[in-house]
Amino acid sequence: MLLGSLTPYFDSMFNGFSTPERRWIYIFALTTAGLIALFIRYLNEVTFKSFVTSSIVPLLIMTTSLYFKQNLHITWMLICLILIVLIAILLKYRHLLHNKYSFWIIAILLVIQQAVILTNDHHNNVKSYESTLDAMSASKYKSPTLTKKINKINKNHQDDPLSRIDYMSKYGLNSPMLYHYNGISLYSSIFDGSILNYYDKTMQINMPIDKNSTYRLLSNRANLMALWNVNDRIRRPNDLNIPYGFKIQDTIYHSKNEPFIHSTNQINYPSAHFTDKIYRNSELKTPIDKEHAMLNGVVFSDSNQKANSHITPSKNLLPETTHNLRNAYRSGHNKITVTENNGGMTYQFPKEISDKYQDMYLEMDVELLTPSKRHYVGVNEYAQQRNELNYKYRRFVTPVTMRVKADQDLKIRMPKGTYRLNVKGIYGEDYRTLKRATRSLDKVAVKQTRNGYTIRHNTNKDGYVVLPIAYSKGMQAKSGSQALPVKKGNGIMTVYTS
């Protein structure tokens, strides 16, 4: 175990082969306790000289730690020092080993040492994370005022059990569990690899921060909001990247200085719907094309699934732009050095092109190379916060797709540093596909039951019912007594044959 502790792979093995974490220290503590018990059991076989010699290195480490770690409470080492001195005396004057009080003193000192270790550990590792009862009702965790608002929203959508709310506290990461609503976020170290693949590869959903273990919202992309039945959105003020189709309804005040902004989706896309259109996954090369296909029909990852529909690929507008560096210079192939904060690259469109669209999707490969520091990568009003390069929970994804409001100037901005930057494409979104699909799709009625959902639709055609529910192996569907095949489609959604 001592050798294994020198490599992160040992730590990873005990953490489900994910991020290295020392989950195995409890086994280490148990085996060490066994060794200590054996040491006390055979103490009379240890010589004074061998004990003193073997104690030199631990004493040096303890002395050094006490000197250099003065900000920590490590008083347990003083008890340890007393134990070492006591055992040395017993070994020097061996007749004392036969005195029953000697072992009682050692046992009592060990108990005291463990108590002091617990006290020190609480101060060093726990106290800074402790909270108060008042924090349980703080706006960043679970606001009573916001709770009332979310309860009201849930009540307003009683006829749609799959309706979702776009909200996630930066502090209480599992906000949907705290407030009891259908959300679009999840905090879990090990959950489902298909969700990770959906976020990072299939749809390239750019999250507000590059951390492992979290799936944070849908990057304010209106098409994804429609697909996942997001009807309400709650944010703090200064929300510059509000999705297309959302309109501010009211403000919720936790306190005078702590408001929440509530907006609602004005596009009534039937997220639970019937479709007979099938698109081939291999033909969809960009996130925006995948969104369009999913809005109109169903996309299966199975390459053997026969397609009966096709979409017109979105035009890459990159050749229509001119670009220039801004407070930066080229320092190699696909490499720039930014000399001032908010420097980077600007892409400019002719006005007649930018005016055609509501939003723009910018797909790029971008990574800080040096120095390692907390930083950000942004385009116009949107920015993703990124961690240090050596941060163990860092979740680097490439390429990334960032959605911003359509503008003549798209400014990629970063703080000072050297970056790899390669813009792969810029795509305009006018939302005609979303609006057409909203009008043309056959909505299905969904009612929640004790052990699932009852779904009704008014069509006798063969096709598929798409539900905005994450697919899980083992799901079943029945029509009367007839079992219906249930598949994973549109990335990770639940689709059954009708």
- pLDDT of 202: 96
Weakest mean pLDDT among 86-100, 169-183, 212-226, 403-417: 86-100
Region 464-491: mean pLDDT is 95
* CB-side neighbour CA atoms (13 Å) of 134: 0
Task: Please name every residue paired with 265 in a beta bridge, in sequence order, or none if there are none.
Answer: 246
**Mean pLDDT (the chain, rounded):** 93
Distance of CA 132 to the CA centre of its chain: 26
The Cα 365–Cα 424 span in angstroms is 7
Closest CA to 426 of 445, 438, 410: 410
Residue 374 has pLDDT above 90, yes or no: yes
9: left (phi over 0), alpha (psi -120 to 50) or beta: alpha
Q: Which domains does the chain have, with CATH numbers?
A: 3-129 (no CATH), 144-265 (no CATH), 273-310+433-497 (no CATH), 318-429 (2.60.120)
Region 337-363: mean pLDDT is 97
Region 64-69: mean pLDDT is 85
- pLDDT of 17: 75
The Cα 391–Cα 265 span in angstroms is 37
Strand order in the sheet with 400-405: 328-332, 335-338, 417-429, 359-370, 400-405
The Cα 361–Cα 429 span in angstroms is 8
- pLDDT of 280: 93
Residue 478, burial from CB neighbour count under 10 angstroms (0-12, 13-18, 19+): exposed
Residue 131 has pLDDT above 90, yes or no: no
Beta carbons of 383 and 372 less than 8 angstroms apart = no
Top pLDDT among 181 and 480 is at: 181
Residue 97 has pLDDT above 90, yes or no: no
399 upstream amide cis, omega within 30 of 0:
yes
The Cα 407–Cα 411 span in angstroms is 10
CA distances from 398 to 140, 229, 344, 366, 477 (A): 31, 27, 18, 7, 37
Residue 136 DSSP label: G
| pLDDT tens-place string over residues 193-245 | 899 999 999 999 999 999 988 899 999 999 999 999 999 999 999 899 999 99
**Which residues touch 57 (CB under 8 Å, ≥6 apart)?**
none
DSSP string over 309-364: ---PPPPB-GGG-EEEEESEEEEETTEEEE-STTEEEEEE--HHHHTT-SEEEEEE
- pLDDT of 332: 93
Residue 394 φ/ψ, nearest 5 degrees? -65, 135
Residue 436 has pLDDT above 70, yes or no: yes
Closest CA to 106 of 169, 157, 37, 51: 37
The Cα 10–Cα 1 span in angstroms is 9
Region 112-129: mean pLDDT is 91
Long-range contacts at 57-66 (CB < 8 A, ≥ 24 apart) = 58/84, 59/84
| pLDDT tens-place string over residues 25-66 | 888 888 888 988 888 788 888 899 999 999 999 899 888 888
Residue 1 has pLDDT above 80, yes or no: no
Using only C-alpha atoms, what is the Rg of the chain?
30
Region 352-358: mean pLDDT is 97
- pLDDT of 45: 87
The Cα 154–Cα 163 span in angstroms is 8
Region 437-462: mean pLDDT is 92
Q: What percent of the chain has pLDDT over 70?
A: 99
Long-range contacts at 436-442 (CB < 8 A, ≥ 24 apart) = 436/296, 437/269, 437/295, 437/296, 438/226, 438/267, 438/268, 438/269, 438/270, 441/269, 441/270, 441/273, 441/274, 441/275, 441/296, 442/270, 442/273, 442/274, 442/275
Residue 394 has pLDDT above 80, yes or no: yes
- pLDDT of 190: 66
The Cα 112–Cα 122 span in angstroms is 15
Q: What percent of the chain has pLDDT over 90?
A: 73
Crossing angle for the helix pair 100-121 and 25-41, nearest 10 degrees? Answer: 160
| pLDDT tens-place string over residues 235-272 | 999 899 999 999 999 999 999 999 999 999 999 999 99
Cα-based torsion angle of the residue sequence 267, 272, 277, 279 in order, rounded to the nearest 10 degrees: 80
| pLDDT tens-place string over residues 147-195 | 999 999 999 999 999 999 999 998 888 999 999 999 999 988 667 889 9
Confidence of residue 498 (pLDDT cuts 50, 70, 90): confident
Residue 145 has pLDDT above 90, yes or no: yes
**Which residues touch 279 (CB under 8 Å, ≥6 apart)?**
293, 296, 297, 298, 299, 307, 309, 310, 311
